[in-house]
């Protein structure tokens, strides 16, 4: 079994629920009681993720103006940001756990499970055959 099963299409299908989850879960879990940034960082990231998904050139993108590789790069930056946020802002307990868990999930999906995009043969190769 190939561990890199998160294709562009699979990624497109998980983007919308992830964006909604990033907006809703901080309220459900009661994040930010000690530091409001723990609440709002996730909500703002969820809104940005929704906009990014709507603009991405993949199966469920609405406007399709941003390349998929750019979308994945932004996801990776979010993963790194979520690792750093508890350390930079002093989150503890559930707040820190929430960001570390989300960071692990995003980085796992984008670095380990992400399937590479098929490449089209170059025009040189097509003519050489």
Task: Report if residue 88 sits inside a domain.
Answer: yes
Q: Can you give the pLDDT of all 129 residues of the chain as single tens digits?
A: 677 788 889 999 999 999 999 999 999 999 999 999 999 999 999 999 999 999 999 999 999 999 999 999 999 999 999 999 999 999 999 999 999 999 999 999 999 988 787 665 544 444 444
Task: Report if residue 78 sits inside a domain.
Answer: yes
Distances (CA, A) of 85 to 17, 28, 37, 81, 118: 22, 20, 9, 6, 34
Task: Report if residue 14 sits inside a domain.
Answer: yes
Tally of domains in the chain: 1
Cβ atoms 58, 9 nearer than 8 A: yes
Task: Report if residue 1 sits inside a domain.
Answer: no
Question: What per-residue confidence (pLDDT) applies to 1?
Answer: 64
Question: What per-residue confidence (pLDDT) applies to 121?
Answer: 52
Cβ atoms 58, 8 nearer than 8 A: yes
Task: Report if residue 58 sits inside a domain.
Answer: yes
Range of the domain at 85: 8-117
Task: Report if residue 3 sits inside a domain.
Answer: no
**What span, in angstroms and rounded, lies between the C-alpha atoms of 77 and 27?**
24
Task: Report if residue 103 sits inside a domain.
Answer: yes
Phi and psi, residue 6, nearest 5°: -85, 90
Task: Report if residue 104 sits inside a domain.
Answer: yes
Question: What per-residue confidence (pLDDT) applies to 125?
Answer: 44
User: At 108, which helix (H) or strand (E)?
Assistant: none
């Amino acid at each position: 079994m190939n561990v890199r099963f998160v294709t562009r299409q699979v990624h497109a299908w998980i983007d919308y629920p992830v964006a909604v989850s990033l907006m809703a879960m901080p309220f459900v879990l009661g994040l930010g009681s000690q530091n409001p940034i723990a609440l709002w960082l996730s909500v703002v990231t969820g809104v940005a993720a929704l906009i990014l998904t709507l603009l991405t050139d993949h199966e469920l993108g609405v406007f399709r103006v941003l390349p998929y590789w750019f979308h994945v790069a932004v996801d990776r930056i979010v993963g790194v940001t979520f690792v750093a946020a508890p350390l930079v802002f002093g989150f503890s307990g559930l707040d820190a756990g929430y960001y570390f868990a989300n960071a692990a999930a995003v980085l796992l999906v984008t670095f380990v499970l992400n399937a590479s995009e098929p490449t089209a043969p170059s025009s040189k190769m097509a003519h050489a055959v």
